[in-house]
Amino acid sequence: MRASLKILMLQLICLTGAIDYQLTLDDNGIFAPCTNIPGNPSNVEGLFDMSFLKVTNDGSKIKVEGKHTVVWKDVQPGDTIKFLGQVNRLEKGTWQKTMFSTSSNNFCKSMFEKNQQWYQFWTQYISNADEIKSKCLNTPGAVFNYAPNYEIELKASLNVPNLEGRYKLAMQFEAFDNRNVKRPVSICSEFRGTLKKL
């Protein structure tokens, strides 16, 4: 009984100790080209034709409307897509990796898994999910349609003190053929902004 009470007290302390943070994206902080990434990867335009996609950034919220089409050169259906998302913090003029990252060695297999970070922020809003499950990012011409309610509020409650500062999220995609040989064109795009306590 005493152990259960101690655990309950610790949980309450953790809950009450959560700090609310707001990420405000830079005006040009959505789909920015990656910096200091080996291999000179293409930006998001190397992955998608963005002509029919409208992304609105009001600083604390992102709204996405429309669709985009896969235009990734040299990928083939059946290629394995590897994904890495890494959050970096600007410290003394240099971007430093943080403990926040996510990855997949087979993104096409896991892109619609509900427990993944990218599902919460991206793939749950794909309205033609059944089609994209089979086509993924490795089928040039595949069209990603988005639900009309695709809006993300950039707030979080975290039990981590002193997270304020400048951050960027670098998202990298690499394709590998059926012999596990890396395709020549990789994709990397960044989201950049400032995190503040509320």
Q: Is the pTM of this model over 0.95?
A: no
The pLDDT confidence band at residue 49, using thresholds 50, 70 and 90, is very high
Q: What are the pLDDT digits (tens) for 22-38?
A: 999 998 889 999 988 88
Eight-class DSSP state of 123: G
Res 12 pLDDT > 50: no
Pairwise CA distance, residues 51 & 68, whole Å:
7
Q: How far apart are CA 62 and CA 83, in angstroms?
A: 22
Q: What residue segments make up the domains of the chain, in order of their start?
A: 20-197
Q: What CATH architecture applies to the domain 20-197?
A: Distorted Sandwich (2.70)
Model pLDDT for residues 133-153, shown as the tens digit of each residue: 999 999 999 999 999 989 998
The answer to whether the beta carbons of residues 31 and 41 sit under 8 Å apart is no
Closest CA to 187 of 51, 81, 63, 54: 81
Single-letter residue type at 196:
K
